[in-house]
Structure 1
């Protein structure tokens, strides 16, 4: 069987190429005919531009998808031929995977195009899981990309007072449509003054850096109150030259806040749910899907483009250079 997949042959190039599909499955694998896949602007964008440390070209790309089950391994019980399955996978017309997060018997209850956004929300959910934030606390989210917007929605759903910071006006407007009340554009007002005003000088109990820009970690510390938390949700990328002792003293010295620094890398939790851990990526996916289905987590507002995979180059260019236009980009493999 032949398929098509996205390849990045060199920096800032994305192409659609043919490949041969090995239809032989392991006992726990599933063969899927992809319908829709979602581009991750952060992780894939870093691979596209070469910002990701250790990037080697050529390489494939992809993050999350939903498709029709064509074939299942002998141990698979979660889905059967003809079902739809949501998984973590590459951008390809045909994929093999053993990580089925969600499965559905047609007809689907919601538009299949928005289901891949579940993964962006589960990435963001990690910041809530690892935090000590409680109902009524103030949480600052720096960045309103797909992950930052998702984190803003999730912390609000958990009962937090959310303040989101973003430079791109169009992304601030999308966040407003998603129900985020306190929005700050640093180009238009002083972030420190606004956070102090909203919190009556207490600052935030938790600040989440959701971009992966190491230059913003110090800002995150400065927006966080005494004995609060700074959480790294975005994966730090790029060089940042700074006196690290000065930054570490925000954590070490009580006079600088004695602020805890935490990781929110999604892989701190197991992929599939086994009962050995309360949380897993599979369980988080089930929770987010329920929130979307019940209209509590907004997704349609995040979807800006649906493209033919043949137009992948323009999509990655747009996500890199036109952040005012591009946010959530779905590849429609039914057009191939």
Structure 2
């Protein structure tokens, strides 16, 4: 079949355009396809990994909801007209393997459903950490991933403290249910009793300082990507804390678990995403104020506002029905 595709494309450094093409799509037997309803920007990844890159074009996006219009011959349990979540780019038409999609719960706003993707970033830590409720968890960096991560742990019975130097981010986290927020990790009320510190900022100072508030045998998990060096601190500071406080510092890379469960690994990326959709539908995790809705035609303005921190919300959601 032939489709008219519109896709947000980074054509040069700091330049986002909505590019139109005509594509020939051959739907595989295990695939499904349809027009996009909404897609969510993952600001840290898309800005640092693509918008500010050195080579182009780049086609960003990995949090999408679309309406099923075409179904492969071997696909079962998917219906035409159904809303599905997938990890598609910011484009008007999605084609994906059916197994790499999930049904949006009935009644859940498809725009809200896209946030499941960012919830999934810290859900890998949730299912792999040695910390157990009601242990104290500190989340440093309260952008969208950190905010949702703090909510993930709060809804599961952990005592969560959010940390960010930005007043507006702390205020938003408080409105969304995070009981304690501080500007600096050293100010956390239970410093020294922290079982798990999750860094979502990618700032090495947050890890160096955060490691000092973790209890003996605690964990520091690095979720935020270290896109650039931001301090002149020495590794000796961290080495000293690790050695004498017996803490574990590890990567929080979400893809350490399999995409789908297998015989010996039951926790999975898609299992976590299904749970995230459920929590969103139940109101256990809230997204009010996290994303500014706009049209894909305004992509350049959206990315510029995020880059220069002029956006009224921490991220942006594209409404493809507005085209």
**Shorter-chain TM-score above 0.5:** yes
Q: Which residue of 1 aligns with 2:265?
A: 277
TM-score normalised over the length of structure 1: 0.89
Tell which deviates more after alignment, 55-64 or 110-119. Answer: 55-64
Q: Which residue of 2 aligns with 1:266?
A: 254
> Measured at CA, do residues 173 and 22 of structure 1 come closer, stay the same or move farther in structure 2, by a change above 3 Å?
same
State which of 23, 26, 41 in structure 1 corresponds to 2:25.
23
Residues 166-177 of structure 1 mapped to structure 2, 5 A cutoff: 166-177=164-175
State which of 154, 157, 173 in structure 2 corresponds to 1:156.
154
Q: Which residue of 2 aligns with 1:45?
A: 47
> Measured at CA, do residues 28 and 215 of structure 1 come closer, stay the same or move farther in structure 2, by a change above 3 Å?
farther
1:295 aligns with 2:294: no
Q: Which residue of 1 aligns with 2:181?
A: 183
Q: Deviations over 1:216-241 (max 9, x none)?
A: 22122122122211001112211356
Q: Deviations over 1:81-111 (max 9, x none)?
A: 2211100010000121115331258xx3111
Q: Which residue of 2 aligns with 1:131?
A: 129
Q: Which residue of 2 aligns with 1:61?
A: 60
Q: Is the 8 A contact 1:169 1:324 kept in 2?
A: no
Give the number of equivalent residue pairs: 319
Q: Which runs of 5+ in 2 are unaligned?
A: none
Q: Distance in 1 between matches of 2:211 and 2:47?
A: 26
Q: Distance in 2 between matches of 1:22 and 1:250?
A: 57
How much has 1:2 moved relative to structure 2? Answer: 1.4
TM-score normalised over the length of structure 2: 0.92
Q: Is the 8 A contact 1:168 1:324 kept in 2?
A: no
What RMSD, in angstroms, separates the aligned Cα atoms of the two structures? 2.0
Q: Distance in 2 between matches of 1:147 and 1:317?
A: 20
Q: Is the 8 A contact 1:204 1:223 kept in 2?
A: yes
Q: Distance in 1 between matches of 2:311 and 2:248?
A: 33
1:319 aligns with 2:306: yes
SS of the residue corresponding to residue 24 of structure 1 reads coil
Q: Distance in 1 between matches of 2:289 and 2:283?
A: 12
> Measured at CA, do residues 323 and 213 of structure 1 come closer, stay the same or move farther in structure 2, by a change above 3 Å?
farther
Q: Distance in 2 between matches of 1:78 and 1:86?
A: 15
Q: Which residue of 1 aligns with 2:100?
A: 100
Q: Distance in 1 between matches of 2:5 and 2:262?
A: 33
Q: Which residue of 1 aligns with 2:238?
A: 247
1:329 aligns with 2:316: yes
How much has 1:49 moved relative to structure 2? Answer: 4.2
